Structure 1
Amino acid sequence: MSAHSDISASNVNLQRKVTLLNAVTVIVGSIIGSGIFISPVGVLSNSGSAGLSVLIWAACGVMSLVGALCYAELGTTLTASGGDFTYIRTAFGSLPGFLYLWVSMMVSFPSQQAIIAKTFANYVSLPFFPEVECPPSEELRGILAGVCLVTLSIVNGFSVRLATRVQDVFTLGKILGLLLIIIMGIIHLARGTTSSFQDSFDSVPGQAVSPTGIAQAVYAGLFAYGGWNNLNFLTEELKNPNRNMPRAILIAVPLVTAIYVLANISYLAVMSPQEMLISQAVALTFGKKVLGAASVIMPIAVALSTFGAVNGMLMASSRLSFVGAREEKLPQILGMIHVERKTPLPAIIFMCFMSLMYLLASDINQLLNYFSFVFWTGVGVSIAGMLLLRWRKPDLERPLKMPWILPLAFILICVFLVVFGAIGQPIDTVIGFGIALSGVPVYFIGVYWTNKPKWLLNFIDAVTVMVQGVLLVAPQHLTKNE
């Protein structure tokens, strides 16, 4: 898949422009999407009681922090960008790394970006289509989702600093929206509205507390914390990663945990558990009950949250494609950088294009069911690779080293989530596994087969040089120290 173009530039490199604040907002903005605003129902309905649901939100935050700290060790030991692809490839070899890259780049990331962009489109249009009888058309939502994706791709292609500032602003916006929910909940609690917390560990009428239900609640809760590893895709652009990566994690994940727990307490302070269970969008129901005419703030908060989440995912997914190409697992053009802007422009354009294609799919959510196991499999294999590298390469410099019990515990959590997901949705898991294995022939044709015909290499060279001229991009120049 790699061409042999001689075009290069000695000063073409990713720039370390991501500060500690930017790193925190990347993590917070990636974790907080639309879920906490729309549907904490999954945790409540499966846990069976209000009190237990709040404890599960807190426990999932602690588990996510453990996983994120393991990734802090990975990110400070293997300092290249690319996240799980870099870690799996280093520990287990080229083919496993490529299969993760294949599924994530071709389906997982772009389908998630498309879904979140559609959620943005839905909620940004709600103030103009407030009536249930007259919702925005599917065509309008598709156009707005496309505008969201293209706008953020332009921002990311123009400047890393601008992209991080967008992330900062929209993360602040979603936090302010959640703080409004928390403050209104505190006010209701101060007024003595505590009925939801009386005998809060008793089963909600119509629900039951069971081990299976608790497991499903944990699964739903951990899904809501997804995105805590996105900073690892940008390691090479993070200033002083040995210091700022663990600091960002220790700030961001506990902050999100506190917000999630307090937001759920606030929901329960204003609504009964039964009201929450029948709500299609908890934050919107909450807003109507406490804000009245000002409840339009809630869909705006959801729109801000999803816009920032798309930006964070686009930053991460484009770096995954960029590193995959740089390591000669994808077409070389995707591993090039704009010579002036110092952004991975071709990778950004490619991920935008893939996401736009998924906007045309009739049922994108089904794809997420197929690949829900990809995230947890990738995380579990990456952390297992961390333990393997401790044994194989004990002399690697490790600025941060977690006690062995933490990665081992999180690997067990990942195994539980993958197995539990397979039991719950066996057909979807088999289909997803089959699509992942479809990357095997692609790997052997595109990567393993190095003795390609000269005419094919010449064609790849010609296309690569043409795109380089159009986009003004060149291969990254790495020094010996890099």
Structure 2
Amino acid sequence: MGSTESFNQPFEGSTTEPGKIALAFYSGLFSYSGWNYLNFVTEELKDPYKNLPRAIWISLPLVTIIYILANVAYFAVMTPVEMLASDAVAVTFADRTLGVMSWVMPVFVACSTFGALNGAIFTSSRLFFVGARHGHLPGFLATINIKLLTPLPSLLFGCITSLIMLSSSDIYALINYASFVETLFIGMSVSGLLILRITKPNLERPIKVSLFFPVFYLIVCVFLIITPLTSSPMECLMGLIMIATGIPVYMLGVMWKNKPQG
């Protein structure tokens, strides 16, 4: 319809400061945060060595294209200022474009949120369960409900820690806390992967990729870890404090071997 005003100067008023760019990446990666969930539940997959790479190659391009097209549609209807002022961009978009059917957008958003939450609960509980089973967490997190065969303690643990984090009223600070910690640990994991590829090249590796991908990804992780330290040091410090709270839990739950049965 010729509404291209929002695309004429898309970067007007934006910044080139590396720390701000990294924080923008945190919000973007948070939107795409489901991309790594499948790796946590490979035990639940049939033939994971075939289906895991297949699922990644199908889902990532598909979701990326859909997200980009959705944002193009938003900018065709709203200006950047209107998008920033909106409490729910998709709902405002629906009000302007769908008329009496605008109610479908909140319904679809609720369904999407429910699906994302279902995936997060499923994978995070599996992560705690397997970590405890391998001795990295207190053993009670590796117990299951004998009737439902679900890792109930790890589900409750994830629920409690999530409620504690949700006590924050600033969603952007919460995203930065979580993203900084997640990027730090992913960077450490990828570093370990590269070290093993060099020091133990003959290990069995059912899933292999070119070294270009982990090296490039590690460079991105280093950028996302270091640059926010200059622009948002307090939020990064809070993330590190959140990590440090796990040290006494590890000392009591894992390192203390001769503790009473109770």
**Range into which the TM-score falls when normalised by the shorter chain:** 0.7 to 0.9
Other-structure match for 1:269: 76
1:188-337 → structure 2 map (5 Å cutoff): 192-196=1-5, 200=7, 202-203=9-10, 207-208=13-14, 210=16, 212=18, 216-337=23-144
SS of 1:227's equivalent in the other structure is helix
The 1:308–1:322 alpha-carbon spacing in structure 2 relative to 1, beyond 3 Å, is same
Aligned-residue offset at 1:253: 0.7
The 1:214–1:364 alpha-carbon spacing in structure 2 relative to 1, beyond 3 Å, is closer
Deviations 1:420-451 (A, max 9, x none): 22222101211221331232333233322323
Other-structure match for 2:169: 363
Aligned-residue offset at 1:364: 6.9
The 1:242–1:288 alpha-carbon spacing in structure 2 relative to 1, beyond 3 Å, is same
Amino acid at match of 2:216: A
1:429 aligned residue (215, 231, 236): 236
Number of residue pairs matched by the alignment: 260
The 1:221–1:354 alpha-carbon spacing in structure 2 relative to 1, beyond 3 Å, is closer
The 1:389–1:435 alpha-carbon spacing in structure 2 relative to 1, beyond 3 Å, is same
User: Contact 1:234–1:316 at 8 Å: present in 2 too?
Assistant: yes
User: Contact 1:233–1:316 at 8 Å: present in 2 too?
Assistant: yes
Taking the aligned partners of 2:208 and 2:156, their CA distance within structure 1 comes to 37
Aligned-residue offset at 1:228: 1.1
User: Contact 1:371–1:432 at 8 Å: present in 2 too?
Assistant: yes
Aligned-residue offset at 1:394: 1.8
User: Contact 1:204–1:273 at 8 Å: present in 2 too?
Assistant: no
Identical positions, percent:
47
Deviations 1:273-312 (A, max 9, x none): 4433433321111111111222111222221121111111
Taking the aligned partners of 1:267 and 1:255, their CA distance within structure 2 comes to 19
User: Contact 2:34–2:116 at 8 Å: present in 1 too?
Assistant: no
Aligned-residue offset at 1:219: 4.2
User: Contact 2:40–2:127 at 8 Å: present in 1 too?
Assistant: yes
SS of 2:137's equivalent in the other structure is coil
User: Contact 2:168–2:174 at 8 Å: present in 1 too?
Assistant: no
If the length of structure 2 is used for normalisation, what is the TM-score? 0.87
Amino acid at match of 2:240: F
User: Contact 1:235–1:241 at 8 Å: present in 2 too?
Assistant: yes
Other-structure match for 1:451: 258
The 1:355–1:224 alpha-carbon spacing in structure 2 relative to 1, beyond 3 Å, is closer
Aligned-residue offset at 1:239: 0.9
SS of 2:144's equivalent in the other structure is strand
Amino acid at match of 2:148: R
If the length of structure 1 is used for normalisation, what is the TM-score? 0.49
SS of 1:406's equivalent in the other structure is helix
Taking the aligned partners of 2:48 and 2:192, their CA distance within structure 1 comes to 20
User: Contact 2:178–2:239 at 8 Å: present in 1 too?
Assistant: yes
Taking the aligned partners of 1:216 and 1:368, their CA distance within structure 2 comes to 9
The 1:397–1:274 alpha-carbon spacing in structure 2 relative to 1, beyond 3 Å, is same
Deviations 1:318-340 (A, max 9, x none): 01111122123333332123445
Aligned-residue offset at 1:249: 0.4
Unpaired runs of 5+ in structure 1? 1-191, 460-482
Structure with greater Cα Rg: 1
User: Contact 1:337–1:343 at 8 Å: present in 2 too?
Assistant: yes
2:202 aligned residue (375, 395, 403): 395
SS of 1:398's equivalent in the other structure is coil
SS of 1:321's equivalent in the other structure is helix
- Structure number with the bigger relative contact order (C-alpha 8 A, sep ≥ 6) is 1
Taking the aligned partners of 1:427 and 1:211, their CA distance within structure 2 comes to 18
Taking the aligned partners of 1:275 and 1:392, their CA distance within structure 2 comes to 54
Taking the aligned partners of 1:331 and 1:268, their CA distance within structure 2 comes to 49
User: Contact 1:337–1:345 at 8 Å: present in 2 too?
Assistant: yes
User: Contact 1:322–1:334 at 8 Å: present in 2 too?
Assistant: yes
Taking the aligned partners of 1:449 and 1:346, their CA distance within structure 2 comes to 20
Unpaired runs of 5+ in structure 2? none
